[in-house]
């Protein structure tokens, strides 16, 4: 079964996804990398690319279609999707949402800023909040209210990374995943806050 990991920007979901890959023999799949590549090809920032996607659904569809296609084609392989919307497009997955205090997220992102992205914590905080709002509005506009990744009811596990190390978050995810595989009904929705 595939695992999809999404959550707030700066929550550490990519780091945690990579830990699960390393510790449990899964393959890593990131739609964030696809978006960054598409933004770079267009010569714009990731925020500008997100804004472009609001008005041009063909950009989103490129990402979504590739995610769905990979999930179906590789249904028998162990994949971890590090993706804002893979939970919505990839069938039959264990859906994880990683939350974090926004100020902590800005500090984390500021430790290792990406080229072309702001460097000060205040600017990072503001950009993360803007990106989150733009993405959420875009997903709801294109796919309806059911695509709201801030609605925790859409996920099997909610885990807060604010006071946990990436290793601790990965362990929480893995333990909840194993419990879900053993009994999907009893473990359909767990919150580790």
* pLDDT tens sequence across 99-150: 999 889 888 877 766 666 666 777 877 888 888 888 888 788 888 989 988 8
Per cent of the chain over pLDDT 90 is 51
Banded pLDDT at 76 (limits 50, 70, 90): very high
Pairwise pLDDT comparison (93 vs 68), residue with the higher score = 93
Percentages (nearest 5) of helix, strand, coil residues in the chain = 60, 15, 30
User: pLDDT band at 12, cuts 50/70/90?
Assistant: very high
Strands of 27-30's sheet, edge to edge? 27-30, 79-82, 2-7, 93-99, 157-160, 190-192
User: How many angstroms separate the CA atoms of 88 and 2, rounded?
Assistant: 13
User: Could you give the residue ranges of the DSSP H alpha helices within the chain?
Assistant: 13-24, 31-42, 46-55, 57-73, 86-89, 102-111, 121-143, 166-182
In sequence order, what are the residues at sequence separation of 6 or more whose Cβ sits closer than 8 angstroms to the Cβ of residue 73? none
Q: Give me the domains of the chain, ranges plus CATH numbers.
A: 2-192 (3.40.50.300)
């Amino acid at each position: 079964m595939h695992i999809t990991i999404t959550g707030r920007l700066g929550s550490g979901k990519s780091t945690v996804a990579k830990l699960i890959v390393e510790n449990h023999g899964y393959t890593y799949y990131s739609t964030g990398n696809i978006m960054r590549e598409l933004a770079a090809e267009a010569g714009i920032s990731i925020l500008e690319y997100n804004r472009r996607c609001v008005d041009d659904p063909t950009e989103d569809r490129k990402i979504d279609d590739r995610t769905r296609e990979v999930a179906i084609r590789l249904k028998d392989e162990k994949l971890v999707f590090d993706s804002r919307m893979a939970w919505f497009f990839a069938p039959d997955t264990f859906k994880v949402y990683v939350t974090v205090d926004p100020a902590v997220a800005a500090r984390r992102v500021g430790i290792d800023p990406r080229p072309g992205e702001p460097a000060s914590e205040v600017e990072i905080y503001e950009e993360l909040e803007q990106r989150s709002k733009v993405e959420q509005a875009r997903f709801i506009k294109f796919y309806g209210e059911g695509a709201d990744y801030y609605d925790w009811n859409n996920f099997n596990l909610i885990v807060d990374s604010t006071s946990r190390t990436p290793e601790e978050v990965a362990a929480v995810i893995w333990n909840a995943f194993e419990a879900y595989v053993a009994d999907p009904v009893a473990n359909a929705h767990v919150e580790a806050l």
